[in-house]
């Protein structure tokens, strides 16, 4: 079964994820303390099948656009169990209200995306960890720790979007993903976000555990 694997603080995956999380924390009014980083072990038939679909899609996009077809981006969601709180909580729960575990077990599902999101019916990610933090919730449970995903996202050719387009269900022809352009760049979002519109374009690969208290 899919589960979390603790990473040592000298592990290259830990160091890379930490670097992105720290650099991505851009909201000046919010604090964090990094607690742990876990690697998601894609164990089991369902996880292996999704991994294979994701890698095949990446290869197809790479063949068109070359290197740089993939980015590593954060995603926040609600968690209804204690997975990631410590090394005794490494396996996903079966509570359907725990979106975190649903994503871990079945990856991202477009079926769960609400209508009329800012850039349409897609899966939203950001390089800005403090932006993803805005979507992180401990749902009907108490923990001072919070968890967010760092995912492999096949972005390919990115279509910049300057204004909200809530009815969108795909990038325009010739593009593989969209990006909300920031206000300083002439767009409409405070911090950048990247949207993919197909489930095989994203693979949750790492979990960052943090508190919102600066130590």
Residues lying near Zn ion in the complex (CB under 5 A) are found at 81, 93, 98, 101
Q: Rank residues 93 and 189 by Cβ distance to Zn ion and give the closer one.
A: 93
Which tokens is 90 given? Answer: 């490494």
Q: Rank residues 143 and 165 by Cβ distance to Zn ion and give the closer one.
A: 143
Q: Rank residues 7 and 93 by Cβ distance to Zn ion and give the closer one.
A: 93
In the bound complex, what is the minimum distance in angstroms from residue 2's beta carbon to Zn ion? 12
Residue 181 near residue 162 (C-beta atoms within 8 A)? yes
Radius of gyration of the chain (CA): 17
Sheet holding 202-211, edge to edge: 3-6, 33-41, 202-211, 146-154, 70-75
In the bound complex, what is the minimum distance in angstroms from residue 85's beta carbon to Zn ion? 11
In the bound complex, what is the minimum distance in angstroms from residue 77's beta carbon to Zn ion? 10
Q: Rank residues 26 and 89 by Cβ distance to Zn ion and give the closer one.
A: 89
Q: Cα 88 vs. chain centroid, distance in angstroms? A: 23
In the bound complex, what is the minimum distance in angstroms from residue 117's beta carbon to Zn ion? 23
Which tokens is 80 given? Answer: 């209804």
CB count, 10 Å around CB of 7?
19
**C-alpha closest to that of 130 among 16, 2, 21:** 21
Residues 6+ apart with CB under 8 A from 23: none
In the bound complex, what is the minimum distance in angstroms from residue 11's beta carbon to Zn ion? 24
In the bound complex, what is the minimum distance in angstroms from residue 83's beta carbon to Zn ion? 5
Which tokens is 156 given? Answer: 């390919």
Q: Rank residues 97 and 172 by Cβ distance to Zn ion and give the closer one.
A: 97
Q: Rank residues 101 and 196 by Cβ distance to Zn ion and give the closer one.
A: 101
CA-based end-to-end distance of the chain: 35
Which tokens is 11 given? Answer: 């592990």
Residues 6+ apart with CB under 8 A from 157: 64, 65, 174, 175, 176, 177
């Amino acid at each position: 079964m899919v589960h979390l694997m603790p990473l040592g603080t000298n592990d290259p995956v830990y160091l890379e994820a930490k670097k992105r999380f720290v650099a991505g924390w851009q909201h000046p009014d919010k604090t964090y303390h990094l607690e742990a980083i876990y690697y998601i072990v894609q164990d089991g038939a369902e996880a292996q099948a999704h991994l294979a679909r994701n890698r095949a899609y990446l290869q197809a996009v790479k063949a068109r656009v070359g290197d740089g077809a993939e980015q590593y981006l954060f995603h926040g969601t609600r968690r209804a169990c204690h997975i990631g709180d410590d090394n005794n909580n490494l396996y996903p729960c079966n509570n359907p209200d725990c979106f975190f575990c649903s994503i871990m077990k079945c990856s991202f599902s477009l079926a769960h995306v609400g209508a009329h999101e800012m850039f349409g019916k897609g899966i939203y990610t950001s390089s800005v960890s403090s932006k993803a933090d805005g979507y992180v919730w401990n749902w009907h449970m108490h923990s001072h720790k919070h968890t967010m995903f760092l995912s492999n996202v096949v972005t390919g050719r990115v279509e910049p979007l300057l204004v909200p387009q809530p009815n969108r269900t795909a990038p325009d022809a010739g593009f593989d993903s969209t990006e909300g352009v920031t206000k300083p760049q002439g767009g409409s979002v405070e911090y950048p976000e990247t949207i993919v519109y197909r489930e095989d374009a994203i693979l949750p690969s790492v979990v960052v555990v943090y508190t919102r208290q600066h130590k």
